[in-house]
């Protein structure tokens, strides 16, 4: 489904992503691990169209995305949960999720400001889609609670619901479990397992190798912008290059 080929991006002459090629088949969950600064978030931004590559290509279902801006990639089915994602303060949980439905909303802000009937109907349907997304992440009962009053784990799941509301075909998750307590991690893993069993294609960046191994069909390891290993979780974990670059440094053990 996702084909990344020879992708490179440098900042000030230093490669953040260097000739990276990754293929993710439909329905697969791909783990993406690597030390801080390895280029994981940059790779996601290149796939989502938030950064322009210096070289290489990205395609979705065989369709090249080169030059396609982020909002069109979102409409084509690429959704992203950003690293350190926070909810919008002052909005309820369901309103936060409704923000994610904008790629499908047809009526502009003038119609919205005038509260035209078609627009009100659309708002109702966006709201019901947002409630379905909240249900999928186990937050239905918190729909009308201010999102910022929720614990971090629930805010992360609200961000996940926001991404799901756009009906993605490919979901990019950048460290969704970072900073969560054990019970919150488990709740998130269960939701992601459910999405995986529904056949959603995902890429998951996460430092907790146990968390990644539980969810990923295959794991790709980045170090200094380059892919140093790729394969089933158990094989990658015992790869000497991975142990040296990442697992062996003790900081993520």
Ligand X SMILES: Nc1ncnc2c1ncn2[C@@H]1O[C@H](COP(=O)(O)OP(=O)(O)O)[C@@H](O)[C@H]1O
CA–CA dist 105, 101 (Å, integer): 7
Query: CB-based contacts of 238: which residues, under 8 Å, 6+ apart?
Result: none
Nearer to Mg ion, 34 or 168 (CB): 34
CA–CA dist 152, 1 (Å, integer): 32
CB of 179 to ligand X, least distance (A): 15
205-244 binders of Mg ion (CB under 5 A):
none
163-175 b/e (C-beta count within 10 Å ≥ 16 → b): bbbbebbbbbbbb
Nearer to ligand X, 45 or 155 (CB): 45
Nearer to ligand X, 40 or 136 (CB): 40
CB of 35 to ligand X, least distance (A): 7
Task: Report the residue from 8, 41, 155, 159 that binds Mg ion according to the rule CB under 5 A.
Answer: 41
Nearer to ligand X, 38 or 130 (CB): 38
Q: What x-and-dash track marks residues 48-87 binding Mg ion by CB under 5 A?
A: -----------------------------------x----
Q: Does 185 bind ligand X (CB under 6 A)?
A: no
Q: What residues form DSSP beta bridges with 231?
A: 219
Nearer to ligand X, 47 or 129 (CB): 47
What kind and span of H or E run contains 221? strand 218-223
Query: CB-based contacts of 222: which residues, under 8 Å, 6+ apart?
Result: 17, 20, 32, 33, 34, 38, 39, 40, 43, 228
CB of 92 to Mg ion, least distance (A): 29
20 SS3 class = strand
15-74 binders of ligand X (CB under 6 A):
16, 34, 36-42
Which residues bind to Mg ion, rule: CB under 5 A?
40-41, 83
Site residues, ligand X (CB under 6 A): 11, 16, 34, 36-42
């Amino acid at each position: 489904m996702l084909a990344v080929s020879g992708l490179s991006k440098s900042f000030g002459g230093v490669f953040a992503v260097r000739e990276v090629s990754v293929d993710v088949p439909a329905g697969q969950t791909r783990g993406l691990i690597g030390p801080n600064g390895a280029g994981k978030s940059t790779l996601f931004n290149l796939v989502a169209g938030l950064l322009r590559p210096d070289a290489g290509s990205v395609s979705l279902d065989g369709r090249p995305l080169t030059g396609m801006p982020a909002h069109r990639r979102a409409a084509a089915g690429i959704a992203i949960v950003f690293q350190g994602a926070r909810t919008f303060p002052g909005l309820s949980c369901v309103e936060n999720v409704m923000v994610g439905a904008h790629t499908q909303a047809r009526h502009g802000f003038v119609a919205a400001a005038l509260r035209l009937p078609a627009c009100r109907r659309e708002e109702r349907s966006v709201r019901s889609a947002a409630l379905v997304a909240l249900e999928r992440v186990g937050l239905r009962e918190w729909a009308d609670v201010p999102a910022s009053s929720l614990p971090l784990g629930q805010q992360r799941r609200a961000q996940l619901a926001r991404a799901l509301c756009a009906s993605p075909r490919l979901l990019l998750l950048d460290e969704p479990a970072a900073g969560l307590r054990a019970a919150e991690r488990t709740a998130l893993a269960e939701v992601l397992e459910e999405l995986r069993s529904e056949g959603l294609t995902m890429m998951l960046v996460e430092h907790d190798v146990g968390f990644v191994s539980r969810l990923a069909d295959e794991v790709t390891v980045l170090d200094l912008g380059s892919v140093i290993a790729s394969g089933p979780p158990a094989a990658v974990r015992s790869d000497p290059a991975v142990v040296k670059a990442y697992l062996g440094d003790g900081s993520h053990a």
